[in-house]
Chains A and B, each alone.
Chain A
């Protein structure tokens, strides 16, 4: 005698598509934050399991902030922060083929290395916002929603991140 219809979140198709459009982003966010990919993936899994088990109580519109909150809370206790280790996409090629002299390639390699070190040395909030924009291609407004902060705060963090990166890279010369 249930007068309450089954929540959409409990629908396997809807849940799966929600998972596919959000799981990797959540994993990335946790990874930018803590630098540990395996733990980030475990947290994603845990958060989505919680959502799936409580699907009746969480409407699909609120599911995103639910998994971010659950994963974030779960991470607060268990994860020791580590250096974020990133890779450059192998498929990307330089914009200008004509510049690919050995000197240029060497210089590019060195710069990439410096950039990685500088990113790893950013503080957590700046790094998370910066990488969400650069790697995940998110708009500032999306980042603001996911981090539960204002858009100005995102812009501030991004700007600070750029200033920090410049400073770090110049220091590494």
Chain B
């Protein structure tokens, strides 16, 4: 379809004479002519090009500056953040205190709030010195006695359970699957797996393989502090392990009679007495050879 837009041709003065003559003869020619004339007199107000071009060109410059400023500003913040984070990290790192006792060693130390910790042999305590007063929390592996000064919540975390107190004297003991908490003064909250209970002074709780045993006693501080070990119906092997830990010795038992249980106290500062108690109770002879102590049947 070839279509000639005659009106457009006319308006653009592209018509040949013949076409023009025909168009001029048409009815509305006069009107079209008027449209053509008057529409050419139309105008749109000028606009201030000079002002706008200056604005545009200067815009780029300020924009570039903004980018640099922004980048500098951003990198400053980033740098400060890194420094602050680094400081935080190192302060945390530096402020972690690690107290470890070897077998046969006991240690008493004070926490930043003057709470007292007595760490039994072969135990370990970790805590953050920094911000201690608002975050009294420490990790314990082994056994320790705590005399906590009053203040914010004091938490002892162990692999087996958590003990929470406000200010009191208590003992926490973990070994393998055994978790034991004894309260000597005030109140102590104990969390073990899903269980939670409150101990008051004189109460003690032991969890072993999920089994809970509650006991009470009249003592005011753990006997190990007074250089004694207490056993409640324990087998010989368990007692020997404790003696090895307390005295840092190696003990060899040459007897099959290890099933009998023992209840009583054994000193932790007198190896001879301790060995005599064992030998008398289990009717064994003992000899000390090199670094070893050997129990034999009579």
Residues of A within 8 A of B (CB): 12, 15-16, 19-20, 23-24, 27-28, 31, 37, 41, 44-45, 48-49, 52-53, 86-89, 92, 95, 111-112, 115, 119, 130-131, 133-135, 139-140, 152, 154-156, 158-159, 162-163, 165-166, 169-170
Q: Please encode chain B, from 47 to 71, with 1 for each CB lying within 8 Å of some chain A CB and 0 for all others.
A: 1010011011101100100000000
Q: Which of B8, B28, B46, B63 has the most CB of A within 10 A?
A: B8
The 5 closest A-B pairs by CB, nearest first: A159-B5, A155-B8, A158-B8, A155-B5, A159-B7
CB distance B12 to A140 under 8 Å?
Answer: yes
Residues on A with beta carbons closer than 8 Å to the beta carbon of B39: 115, 119, 130-131, 134-135
Write the nearest CB–CB distance from B126 to chain A, whole angstroms. 55
Q: Is B280 an interface residue (CB 8 A)?
A: no
CB distance A131 to B53 under 8 Å?
Answer: no
Residues on B with beta carbons closer than 8 Å to the beta carbon of A19: 49, 52-53, 56
Residues of chain B at interface, number, CB under 8 A: 33
Residues of B within 8 A of A (CB): 3, 5-9, 11-12, 28, 31-32, 34-35, 37-47, 49, 52-53, 55-57, 59-60, 63
A interface, over-half SS: helix
Q: How many A-B residue pairs lie within 8 Å, measured between CB atoms? A: 114
Can you add 16 more A-B contacts, CB < 8 Å, to A111-B38, A155-B8, A162-B32?
A: A19-B49, A19-B52, A19-B53, A23-B53, A86-B42, A87-B43, A87-B45, A88-B43, A89-B41, A92-B41, A134-B42, A154-B8, A155-B5, A156-B8, A158-B12, A159-B7
Q: How far is the CA of A152 from the CA of B59 in the complex (A)?
A: 40
In the complex with contacts A89-B41, A169-B35, A52-B56 CB distance below 8 A: yes
Offer 26 A-B interface pairs, CB within 8 angstroms, sorted by A: A16-B53, A20-B49, A24-B47, A45-B52, A45-B55, A49-B59, A52-B60, A86-B43, A86-B44, A87-B42, A87-B44, A87-B45, A88-B42, A92-B41, A115-B35, A119-B39, A131-B42, A134-B39, A134-B42, A140-B8, A152-B3, A152-B5, A155-B9, A159-B6, A162-B35, A166-B28
